[in-house]
Amino acid sequence: MKILIAEDDRVTRQVLRASLLSLGHQVVEAADGTGALEALAQPGAPNLAILDWLMPGMDGLEVCRALRQRPGRYIYIVLLTARDAHGDMIEALDAGADDFLTKPFKLGELRARLRAGERVLALQDDLLRSQEVLLHEASHDRLTGLWNRGRVLDELARELRRTHRDLSTLALVLCDVDHFKQINDTHGHTVGDTVLKQIAVRISSTLRASDSVGRYGGEEFLLILPHADIKSGRDVADRVRTAVAAQPITAGTLQLGVTISLGVACSSPGISEEILIHAADQALYRAKANGRNRVEVPNT
């Protein structure tokens, strides 16, 4: 574990550094509270700090208070002090200290304090990872890894607001896998899932970094193409269609030739998400009616 020590007394700091190194930790040093705050603000800074209570400039309690006011990751703070009065301990805890190490400290006590800190930080890491997983699952489709319907519709609403402000346009593409029910009925849903996952990869690989794609529902995908008009939107849609159809999709021992149909619509001033999606859906319906594996745009 990487640990910051902030101690103005050079001898105490050397003893503390040697003790931490003997326990297998990495050490970052500061000679005062200001230096400690600066060190803890750096990328890759320690998550655990041992602060001397009495230091020139900012003392340990002031550093505690400053750290607790900062947003972001939690710093576990061990206060190094010769004070042991009940009132002092209450003051330190109120300032944000997590634990205490009494001067002169013993190696066994130091090890025990650090283990307590490690346990708390490990629990925090687990909680943050769980939070990230939940946030990802709330916005992404589990099967394809793309944005889910709610998230891609939120992005469409955001992009439309931007086009209204900037007086620009965006193209919306609605894709549907041709004969997908037949694939499921003939080969089973596991093969169908594989088809959807590989199509998602092929669509994503064709788009620009500024474009967005989500699973709209079932075998449908929704593409948002900022700063695109109907012509450029149709060009992108045709590249996506070609990318999907170019090579068979491998599903176990099967090699399946799969195609998609696409409908493209372009935004106009004041248009709503519902009207834009409806226009793309009507174009998609026409692509299906005209033989599939093709791109259509709204009638003009």
Domain boundaries, given as residue ranges, for the chain: 2-138, 149-296
Structure tokens of 27? 């050490």
pTM: 0.65
Instruction: Give pLDDT, residue 268.
Output: 92
Judged by average pLDDT, the poorest of 86-95, 152-161, 221-230, 269-278 is 86-95
Q: Is 45 exposed, middle or buried (0-12, 13-18, 19+ CB in 10 A)?
A: middle
Tokens of 44: 């890759």
The answer for 96, left when phi > 0, alpha when psi is -120 to 50, beta otherwise, is left
Q: Can you give the pLDDT at residue 143?
A: 94
CATH node for 149-296:
3.30.70.270
Q: Return the pLDDT at 15.
A: 87
Q: Which residues contact 199 (CB under 8 A, 6 or more apart)?
A: 177, 221, 244, 249, 258, 260
Average pLDDT on 59-65 reads: 89
Q: Is 38 a catalytic residue?
A: no
Q: What is the mean pLDDT of the chain?
A: 91
- Residue 220: the pLDDT is 97
Binned at pLDDT 50, 70 and 90, residue 95 comes out as confident
Through-space distance between the first and last CA atoms of the chain, rounded to whole angstroms? 65
State the pLDDT confidence band at 300, using cuts at 50, 70 and 90.
low
- SS3 readout for 122-182: HHHHHHHHHHHHHHHHHHECCCCCCECHHHHHHHHHHHHHHHHHHCCCEEEEEEEECCHHH
What's 2-138's CATH class?
A: alpha beta
Catalytic residue among 7, 155, 159, 219: 219
